Structure 1
Amino acid sequence: MSNTLSPIRRIALLSATSLAFTGLASAQEAANTGDELETIVVTAPNYVPTGSGVGTKANIPLVETPQSISVITRDQIDLLDWSNLGQTVRYVAGVNGENYGPDERVDWLTMRGFEPVQYIDGLQSSIGSIANTGLDLYGAESVEILKGPSSALYGLTPPGGIVNVTSRRPDEQFGGELEAQYGNRDHVQVNGTITGAVSDTVSARLTALYRDRGTQTAGVKSERIYVAPAITFKPAEDTSFTLLSFYQNDDVTGDGGGFLPSQGTLFDNPEGEISSTANLGETSYNRFQREHYGIGYDAEHAFNETFSVQQNLKYTHLDSDQRGIGGSGFADADFDGTPDDYRTVNRYSFSFAEDVDTFAVDTRLGINVVDEGVLEHTALVGVDYRTYDYQGFSAFSFAGIPTIDIFEPVYGYDIPTLDPVLFSDLKEKQLGVYVQDHITLGGFHFTASLRHDWVDTDDRMSGTTRTDKDFSYRGGVSYLFESGFAPYISYARSFQPVAGAGRDGTPFDPTTGVQLEAGVKYDARGLPKGIKLFTTLSAYQLTQKNVLTPDPTNTGAEAFDVQTGEVEVKGVEFEVVGRFNERLSINASYTYTDSEVTESNGPELGGELPVTPTHKISALADYTFQDGSLAGLGASFGARYLSESAGNLASTFTPTVYTNPAVTIFDASLHYDLEDWRLSVTASNLFDKEYVARCYSATNCFFGTRRVVTASIARKF
């Protein structure tokens, strides 16, 4: 019983700590004099979000948008020292990250049970086999998370939603920083950004980063270079053009990728527990290399108070090359299902490469009509176009790969090179036309979006082409009270093309998602000026239809599918971001998720979606003294609890469902801001909790990220 209550008790302790911080803030404020207020130090004035273009592609406040949207601002990222997307969702409702532990390549996210697709500056990025790109967070101005079906504005998207990264933009006012970091496991990083006006009409920004570090996995080293120039040209008050670009190069060596046996990680092993530092790869052979770059622009022109036009365009390229040795479970020489010695692991060789090019352009006409201040229309008519060119190469072999002792590993074997071969070569063209109207009538806000997409896919390996087309829509209404409360209800539909064909050769229809969501938002406009707050409470039911499931008429080795599968996700989400008198900052969330495969011809029927815990509770408080002798000194403390979740869906090959254990993790930081300097120490997984992040078979288990401590010094100007 004590083990069950422990996470709840810990969260309660954090709540008490937050209340103590609040008391300190009130006491400090009461002790302030007028002279002290003149020297106040403000460290995160934009901590609490107020708006985001991702939910409507228009300048509509978050509180008026009838859909759950989470925005992680640059001030949040800086104050809490986050460096990747997986970290930014730690205190966000409905989203889980870091599902495979310390992966230096990409950010593994699940949103309302599904894997979200990553966008950069409102346009889909060059994603490959994974739905995100591992783009460094230092170049981000904000991260916007749009939950639920989003096809009405973005075309083919998964039912759970999308994640958009907005790049840092130039500022006419001169400013910037230069920072150096050092942390455990030989973490070394230097980064900086500088911006300012070049002339009366031109401003620029340069952002850059270099990082070299190890991870908790023995023998792994990661190196990254990131550079992002940007230029804004404003020839007139009503016209702007911003050129955005980035280049990122990653080199990860020695990583076996996890893939540890379940005995010794999730279950007992007679030889003992497997170390979270275990590496089943070949440290001198395994490597992952990636080059990722993009260039484009955001342009806007207002013809008058009624009409304006916006266009964002971007070309991105991603080229990755990976080779490695990985673990495939304990050796079983007689194939009787019992390992020979519970320490000798078979291994395989795997090579994988991707080459992805994406070009996207989105053009929209904005129409703003006000009828004597009573009725207001904020409308959009838009068209977007995207080409996606993908080539994938892979190879797999057990031949010539020696076993390894997982408890006393020996590296340095001569590994034969395994050249990857082409397995996918396709080009996809997507054209979408959409309209949206946001109508304000008194306190009522009505939002309606309608879109039609045409998707042509050219499979260059098979020489076949196919066309998918579908309608998407979203409708919602909210009522904004003067106090800042805004109850809302919405209904939305999404779609995604599905590769392959049925028994008779007919291509599969797109899979669709439909969601009904209701909730209430609150932006604290009725509270005193020093209180900034944004809160969302929502409940939803999300259904994915046309899911592939085995054809019941299959015989022998046939593996045809039919589209009669269905998945249902229901949930309740609460999230709050607050800033009180420029001293106390809070992030807190609660997520309840009930996911189920409701229709299937396979063994997954009735199963829960992987890495989708029923409960997620997270809360963090940061208090910073803003005046007096301690001005600029601050600290944060946070806790995250995830209940147990399924590691996999049952299948013919893996009939057993593995359960990811529940876990509670704590984070903390200490920081000190002077006029021109910032000193900080941050600790993720403060108490160095060792836990299994995911197991999805007997041979595929992954430890979560152990304690990471980073100290930094930054010069601000």
Structure 2
Amino acid sequence: MMKSIFHGGVALGALLAASAPAWAQTADAAPDPALAATSADDAGVDIIVTANRREERLQDVPVSVSAFGGEQLQDMRISDVRDLNNVAPGLRISAADAAANPKIFIRGAGLSDFNPSSSSGVGIYVDGVYVGSPLAQLAGFYDIERIEVLRGPQGTLFGRNTTGGAINVITKRPQQAFGGEASAEYGERNSLTLNAAVTGPIATDRLAFRVSGQYVRDDGTTKNRVTGNRIGYQDRYAARGQLLFTPDDDVEFLAQGSFFRNRGSAVPVKHRGLFAQPGTPTGPDGLCAGDFRDGGCRDALGYYDSSDDPFSVESNLEGKDEVDVKTLSLSATIGLPGFDVISVTAYQDAWRDARENTDGSPLQMLESRYNSSQSQFSQEIRFQSQGHGRARWVAGAYYMRDHLRDNSSYDVLRDLRPLFTTPENPTGVSVEDSVALFSWPYTQKTDSYAFFGQLDYDVTERITVTGGLRWSADDKAINYTSQAEGGAIVLLRKQDRKTFSDWSGRAILAYKFSPDVNGYLSYNRGYKSGGFFGGQATLPEQLEPYDNETLNAYEAGLKTQFMDGRMRANASAFYYDYANQQVYSLEVRNGISMQVLTNAASSRAWGGELEVAGSPLRGLSVNFSASYLNTRILDFVSAGEDYSGNKLQHSPEWTLSGFVSYDAELANGSAITFSGSANWRSRVFFDNTERQRVSTGPLTLVDAQVGWRSPGGGFEAGVFAKNLFDKRYLGGISALESLGYDALSFGAPRRAGVYANVKF
């Protein structure tokens, strides 16, 4: 769906979550009697994560992190990053595109700009490779070992600086034992999802392979009343091949290649008129405050959508969202006496061609085409200790080259061209009246460099201190043109180059009160590079570089285990202090809606999180999380509009999430399986204005699954339902007030069906 405007009118089984301090008893230290024994059941707490770029127990990592295992992901039907929305504390994800550009926020930190020139405040990493392009971030999640959601700035150890956090995806690796797995599900609207993977040896103990893939399709969520066709359909597939070469016990090479292709529909736009007709009440902004479906609220061309069904539209253009993503990577680990050397080399190429009926009407008022290609090469090298003794350290360097080419366009008010047609102007173009085909071809090249290091040191058996530091620089060069009618009319030209650099780091004090109670205090400084705006611009000030965003984050946490280690309860409290927060908005300037990406002088956020998870009874797994988030823009004035005092967008004050699974074993060794999840969140605002119209109210979503599993667990089948109660809810709103309408995108309706999984 449209997220943009133009000149002249548009211008993350159980949810296993914890964060704990690193602690290790040194070989030459006398054991502390208070720590000599533990009631924890190791089988219940030894969840392995790589939040510190090395394998560690989840409970020993000094980072706020939630971890999702592969079976939990399958039970929750996680197929791309959007499905993680609200399932981890403080995590909010939405997307108004079918196959690109997710908007990811953690604890209120993120960025809603969809243009490929900008980078998110939350980084996505797949097997250690940073996925920088928003064109590639919705490539399917399949054949996953686990997903880790890291909350707070991750500026020290990860490939690109991020202020909000990171989503770390670890895929399943090749194995020396031959085996495989497959799953299939079929549901409403002829929805079909297929997953498969095969692994095994090529050369015993030396070379192994893994091949996996995914296919997803359905008939579409929405009916187009103009043509009678179903739109909003899915049609995508992905494949991945891996080779694991271990020539020596201390040496391994993992080579991967993957491909993702989407050929589905664009997300349909639901039209909501804003210009009040005589006798229709208006709000304080002069826009419609009446019944949007009775004709009293119309757009600039007089159209209104009379249907209150969010999945029924009138559209003259049935759009497509075509995306191709190709990725190659090579990871090498070499063990040397006392430390390891890790190298990660990767290349990714992403291409997108999306066509969208942005006005959601049968008229030709606003039609969009997003055409972009982006290539990325990255190289990281790390030197890190092997975890012996009091000190654990890592040091390294990172480089990335990103090359973006964009040639997107908006066809604006084409139905009005006859009004401007003359013998001298046979095409009816009138740029001053925003009646034209506007495009903005540009290229952007970015070279990123970073040097980093971190040390964890056990002062005593109870106390661990952590310190980390990173320096980063992004050298960006842009060549931009804003034009009309394919270049016949040039509106703006801009060539610029600038280097954005800054430092980030962390300091953590962790204390082990007892075998079952850990506490920590942390300070993290994160920054996100400044840059150049890459959307459609008509004013020179839109193209001025925006500044680095910095975030100082303060956090305190307490982690506990109880019921002989079968359960965990973890709580944290945090305070965020923003400077120059990067903010994307749609603003009306001189009667014209325009895209703006600029800096808010200061913002702040504070809140708390609670997570309770574990297995209190045999066969039963439970998880509950709750988060509170209080956000405020402290100082932000843009185009004469003062947003100071408003809440940050995409930052619900309260979120609650619960997951339960139960396996009832039968006498023959088989089992009846049940899993269910529910999440609730309070009101969400979609922009900086804190207007009720550009928001959506509290929402509860429920999923459920019931099945039968064979003895030994090799086969399972059953029924499922996503969005069990078929809630109709908004996923996003683009307020296009100068054209007299809001563009609404809705979350998916209920999808119920049958499933089968097999392992061999």
Q: Say whether residues 1:241 and 2:247 are aligned partners.
A: no
Q: Which of 297, 309, 312 is the aligned partner of 2:341?
A: 309
Q: Say whether residues 1:429 and 2:415 are aligned partners.
A: no
Instruction: Give the TM-score taking structure 1 as reference length.
Output: 0.80
Q: Which of 569, 573, 583 is the aligned partner of 1:539?
A: 573
2-structure distance, mates of 1:557, 1:326:
19
Alignment partner, residue 758 of structure 2: 715
CA RMSD, Structure 1 to Structure 2 (Å): 3.4
Alignment partner, residue 485 of structure 1: 517
Alignment partner, residue 49 of structure 2: 52
What SS class does the counterpart of residue 152 from structure 1 fall into? coil
Alignment partner, residue 298 of structure 1: 331
Report the Cα offset of residue 99 of structure 1: 5.8
Alignment partner, residue 66 of structure 1: 62
Instruction: Decide whether aligned partners of structure 1 residues 47 and 121 sit closer, same or farther in structure 2, where only a CA change above 3 A counts.
Output: farther
Report the Cα offset of residue 484 of structure 1: 2.8
- Native 8 Å contact 2:183 2:756 kept in 1: yes
Alignment partner, residue 663 of structure 1: 699
1-structure distance, mates of 2:599, 2:703:
44
- Native 8 Å contact 1:118 1:124 kept in 2: yes
What SS class does the counterpart of residue 214 from structure 1 fall into? coil
Q: Say whether residues 1:251 and 2:263 are aligned partners.
A: yes
What SS class does the counterpart of residue 642 from structure 2 fall into? coil
- Native 8 Å contact 2:411 2:438 kept in 1: no
What SS class does the counterpart of residue 142 from structure 2 fall into? helix
Alignment partner, residue 318 of structure 1: 350
Alignment partner, residue 182 of structure 1: 186
1-structure distance, mates of 2:590, 2:704:
57
1:310-389 equivalences under 5 Å are 310-327=342-359, 347-368=365-386, 370-371=388-389, 376-389=390-403
**Which residue type is aligned with residue 453 of structure 1?**
S
Instruction: Decide whether aligned partners of structure 1 residues 46 and 423 sit closer, same or farther in structure 2, where only a CA change above 3 A counts.
Output: farther
2-structure distance, mates of 1:580, 1:175:
32
Measured against aligned partners, the alpha-carbon deviations of 1:10-62 in whole angstroms (never above 9, x if no partner) come to: xxxxxxxxxxxxxxxxxxxxxxxxxxxxxxxxxxx999772321x31123333
**Which residue type is aligned with residue 130 of structure 2?**
Q
1:120-519 equivalences under 5 Å are 120-128=126-134, 133-154=137-158, 156-200=160-204, 201-218=206-223, 219-220=230-231, 221-253=233-265, 255-258=267-270, 260-261=272-273, 268-271=291-294, 274-282=308-316, 285-304=318-337, 306-327=338-359, 347-368=365-386, 370-371=388-389, 376-400=390-414, 421-440=439-458, 441-461=460-480, 462-500=494-532, 508-519=546-557
Report the Cα offset of residue 613 of structure 1: 0.8
Larger deviation: 293-302 or 619-628?
619-628
- Native 8 Å contact 1:155 1:453 kept in 2: no
2-structure distance, mates of 1:543, 1:483:
34
Instruction: Decide whether aligned partners of structure 1 residues 667 and 189 sit closer, same or farther in structure 2, where only a CA change above 3 A counts.
Output: closer
Report the Cα offset of residue 429 of structure 1: 0.8
**Which residue type is aligned with residue 62 of structure 1?**
L
Report the Cα offset of residue 382 of structure 1: 0.6
What SS class does the counterpart of residue 408 from structure 2 fall into? strand
Alignment partner, residue 83 of structure 1: 79
Instruction: Decide whether aligned partners of structure 1 residues 176 and 294 sit closer, same or farther in structure 2, where only a CA change above 3 A counts.
Output: same
Q: Say whether residues 1:573 and 2:573 are aligned partners.
A: no
Larger deviation: 446-455 or 575-584?
575-584
Larger deviation: 459-468 or 665-674?
459-468
Report the Cα offset of residue 473 of structure 1: 0.6
- Native 8 Å contact 1:356 1:390 kept in 2: yes
1-structure distance, mates of 2:189, 2:360:
27
2-structure distance, mates of 1:583, 1:359:
46
2-structure distance, mates of 1:457, 1:124:
18
Measured against aligned partners, the alpha-carbon deviations of 1:245-304 in whole angstroms (never above 9, x if no partner) come to: 210100113643445557999974353662121234446x41110101101022111112
Instruction: Decide whether aligned partners of structure 1 residues 155 and 712 sit closer, same or farther in structure 2, where only a CA change above 3 A counts.
Output: closer
1-structure distance, mates of 2:345, 2:371:
27
- Native 8 Å contact 2:704 2:724 kept in 1: yes
Q: Say whether residues 1:691 and 2:729 are aligned partners.
A: yes
Alignment partner, residue 738 of structure 2: none
**Which residue type is aligned with residue 397 of structure 2?**
V
Q: Which of 602, 605, 623 is the aligned partner of 2:662?
A: 623
Report the Cα offset of residue 623 of structure 1: 0.6
Measured against aligned partners, the alpha-carbon deviations of 1:51-104 in whole angstroms (never above 9, x if no partner) come to: 321x3112333323332111111121123332222223442111023465x945
- Native 8 Å contact 2:526 2:552 kept in 1: yes
**Which residue type is aligned with residue 241 of structure 2?**
P
Report the Cα offset of residue 649 of structure 1: 1.0
1-structure distance, mates of 2:723, 2:387:
51
Alignment partner, residue 597 of structure 1: 633
- Native 8 Å contact 2:443 2:478 kept in 1: yes
- Native 8 Å contact 2:365 2:414 kept in 1: no
Q: Which runs of 5+ in 2 are unaligned?
A: 1-41, 111-121, 224-229, 277-287, 295-305, 418-435, 481-493, 534-539, 736-740
- Native 8 Å contact 1:660 1:695 kept in 2: no
What SS class does the counterpart of residue 153 from structure 1 fall into? coil
Instruction: Decide whether aligned partners of structure 1 residues 355 and 274 sit closer, same or farther in structure 2, where only a CA change above 3 A counts.
Output: same
Measured against aligned partners, the alpha-carbon deviations of 1:383-405 in whole angstroms (never above 9, x if no partner) come to: 111111111221112343599xx
Report the Cα offset of residue 699 of structure 1: 0.7
What SS class does the counterpart of residue 76 from structure 1 fall into? helix
**Which residue type is aligned with residue 237 of structure 1?**
D
Report the Cα offset of residue 378 of structure 1: 0.8
Q: Which of 108, 112, 125 is the aligned partner of 1:113?
A: 108
Instruction: Decide whether aligned partners of structure 1 residues 86 and 614 sit closer, same or farther in structure 2, where only a CA change above 3 A counts.
Output: same
Report the Cα offset of residue 370 of structure 1: 4.5
Report the Cα offset of residue 508 of structure 1: 4.9
Report the Cα offset of residue 360 of structure 1: 1.2
What SS class does the counterpart of residue 179 from structure 1 fall into? strand
- Native 8 Å contact 1:261 1:700 kept in 2: no
Instruction: Decide whether aligned partners of structure 1 residues 244 and 263 sit closer, same or farther in structure 2, where only a CA change above 3 A counts.
Output: farther
Q: Which runs of 5+ in 1 are unaligned?
A: 1-44, 330-343, 404-417
- Native 8 Å contact 1:49 1:71 kept in 2: no
2-structure distance, mates of 1:167, 1:262:
47
2-structure distance, mates of 1:506, 1:419:
24
1-structure distance, mates of 2:600, 2:413:
40
